[in-house]
A and B are shown apart, each in its own frame.
Chain A
């Protein structure tokens, strides 16, 4: 946690520190910080809404709780052009291979947000059901979990900002998997 806060403090406005020299200043930073800053401010989500949480995601996309001011400008329909997949809704046994296939089709680096109680752990459909996958993380690795049934739009915005901070602090699963790149 301290590492994350330290990195967030250092990279508050833009990545790096300014070293004053006569005639202006020089920004000193690591390449990884600059790349993370650029990536986190321009994440394009994939439209993947299976059930009720999809309506709250659509509310966030519309003008009252706009998420394009955080960089999620265009919601792409094809996984080849998307960065983050927001799993909004229940995953059932028939849909799980489809979800895995979509995740495999996304290009690196990719991030996953599990929205709603159904995607975290099966939610209200945990007991006595024969066809619900009890949590989307049985299928693909998840970075951010949002509780709620359905979560408020502000909760989804909080999760998007958390994902951005996580990317800047190099703690997402994608970055932990490949620690020595760049």
Chain B
């Protein structure tokens, strides 16, 4: 199986409840799945799971304490390393919070560029997720297929922003550079390539009978539980909860584009898979609406060199590829924040894992954990 197991306790010592035959095993922190350093301590009865306890902190880089000594222009680079697969959206959340505090008005061209970059990032993140999820279930080939599209997006980003993975492109006031002149043609070519190649993924994965048997009816999460556990993003939309921040509290020009919020009532892993595939298509339709109508103008508003937020508290919610990210800044009027809190989507999604897999087998655990789309540095911060 694709788990790194190591027996940590003797079974004869485990009988505080008088239960015979209970086994405690470790999955991680170093394991072949590509989620990162997650350590799960699983209590098993045979092959049936009784309890899962996540142990976190193996990548806790004390970002919140560090940001208390960085200025408002400096702390943005750190946040793109938090959830590195949707790095643009993280940077956008921080820039929006600072702009809200200082009442800066962002020009229209910058807003449209921000939406385009966010949607490209969302597609890249979901592509990598499809590859990683298939690898968790034992299929290595889709990994290479999805990285092909991801590399095209990375090259497009690199031409404009200067980096492939952690680009600090969103600044308070707009974006750091203007779009490259080739951006439009390359994105249009990518859309054509994407639409023709994504049907390959459908044939390889979604119509595969083994994949369907392994994910239908597995890891069911009801709607009340999803709200109570604080799940957001595709995890909650897979249970029928409507929670897309781009619709509830639109930011940065999302109120002007039309797209659908994808919901599925079933609540199992297959529903979460379908939602992410459909979200990729919705992102493509947003890009198609905007790519020919980018307004002219400034890409950055004029701001002072040293930013100082007024005394108060500011909260911004954005929709990353994983769910709702919240940035909460408490300011005392200086050049550095007094307290920053990042409410990460993975933290709450992970707390629902114990509830979802109780009573199922270890193979189901892998299928469920794959659909939660966890990025561990986002959880540990």
Contacts and interface: CB of A to CB of B under 8 A. Distances in A.
Whether chain A touches chain B in the assembled complex (some CB pair under 8 Å): yes
A81 interface: no
B69 A128 contact: yes
A49 B58 CA distance: 12
B151 A59 contact: yes
| Interface-centre pick from A48, A51, A59, A149 (highest chain B CB count, 10 A) | A51
B65 A128 contact: yes
B371 interface: no
Contacts of A124: 77-78, 81
Interface string A41-65: 0000001111110111011001110
Contacts of A51: 36, 59, 81, 84, 376-377
Contacts of B227: none
A154 to B, nearest CB: 11
A102 interface: yes
Contacts of A125: 61-63, 66
A91 to B, nearest CB: 9
A130 to B, nearest CB: 5
B147 A59 contact: yes
A94 interface: yes
Interface string A128-139: 111110000000
Given A62-B144, A98-B29, A150-B165, A90 B65 contact: no
| Interface size bracket, B side | 35 or more
B34 interface: yes
Contacts of A55: 84-85, 128, 165
Contact of A64 (B68, B77, B84, B148): B148
B131 to A, nearest CB: 8
B360 to A, nearest CB: 23
Nearest to A98: B29
Given A95-B37, A128-B66, A129-B65, A62 B143 contact: yes
Contacts of A90: 59, 61
Contact of B34 (A49, A95, A127, A150): A49
Given A59-B151, A132-B61, A77 B66 contact: no
Interface in A119-166: 124-125, 127-132, 149-150, 152
Interface string B48-69: 0000000001111111011011
Contacts of A132: 61-62
Given A63-B148, A95-B37, A95-B58, A130 B30 contact: no
A152 B29 contact: no
Nearest to B2: A77
B30 A102 contact: yes
Nearest to B57: A94
Interface in B164-182: 164-166
A50 B36 contact: yes
Interface of B: 2, 4, 29-32, 34, 36-37, 57-63, 65-66, 68-69, 77-78, 81, 84-85, 128, 143-144, 147-148, 150-151, 154, 164-166, 376-377
30 contacts: A48-B30, A49-B36, A50-B36, A50-B377, A51-B377, A52-B84, A54-B34, A55-B85, A55-B165, A58-B147, A59-B147, A62-B143, A64-B147, A64-B151, A77-B31, A78-B4, A92-B58, A92-B59, A94-B60, A95-B37, A98-B30, A124-B78, A125-B62, A127-B66, A128-B69, A131-B60, A131-B62, A132-B62, A149-B166, A150-B166
